[in-house]
Amino acid sequence: IDNWRWAGVPFYLRTGKRLPHRVTEIAIQMKHPPLNLFSTVECDGDLCSIVEARPNQLVLRIQPKESIFLRFSTKRPGMQYQVQPVAMEFDYEDHFDSDLPEAYERLLLDVMRGDSTLFTRSDELLAAWKFVDPVLQEWESGSAGLEFYPAGTWGPAAADRLLTVTGRRWRVPQLSQ
């Protein structure tokens, strides 16, 4: 994003075949506050413990089970200065009490109607190839190592190292949010 507000904000994309789950989502993780004024409490029934605060997170689930999930910390009621992680979720299928069409169902219907609104324009395709072409050329030259990983895992160890160097880690999608 070429905008001063997003300067220095990292974007990470993880994609692959034969991952543990077929899931498409956008997870936006907020920064930790520079100073944590409250202790963070997590409770399981009546048993509560103080834990390290987790960053607030907004997850846009594209598939399966289209939904929007917001996890944030809020102050617990009472006189103590403690916050607790809470969650809010909006699920399209549950809210509208109907099955959503599969992506290709919608596109095929649009083709039959002659509606190209959801289709990629030629200028968008050209812009995408400006990004993809150098990646393909590097890969074809053999100078960039291709990382392999076992089927059913979230990817190669190099992907984990990419983030741990910066003190980050991948979000593992929770299909039962």
Residue ranges for the chain with pLDDT beneath 50: none
The whole-number pLDDT of residue 90 equals: 92
DSSP state of 116: -
pLDDT tens-place string over residues 121-164: 999 999 999 989 998 888 888 777 778 899 999 989 999 998 89
| This prediction's pTM | 0.69
Q: Which amino acid is at 20?
A: P
pLDDT of residue 41: 67
Bond prior to 77 in cis (omega within 30° of 0):
no
- Name the average pLDDT for the chain: 83
Residue 151 CB partners (closer than 8 Å, separation 6+): 18
CA distance 159 to 12: 10
**In angstroms, rounded to a whole number, what is the distance separating the alpha carbons of residues 59 and 167?**
21
Burial of 52 (0-12, 13-18, 19+ CB in 10 A): exposed
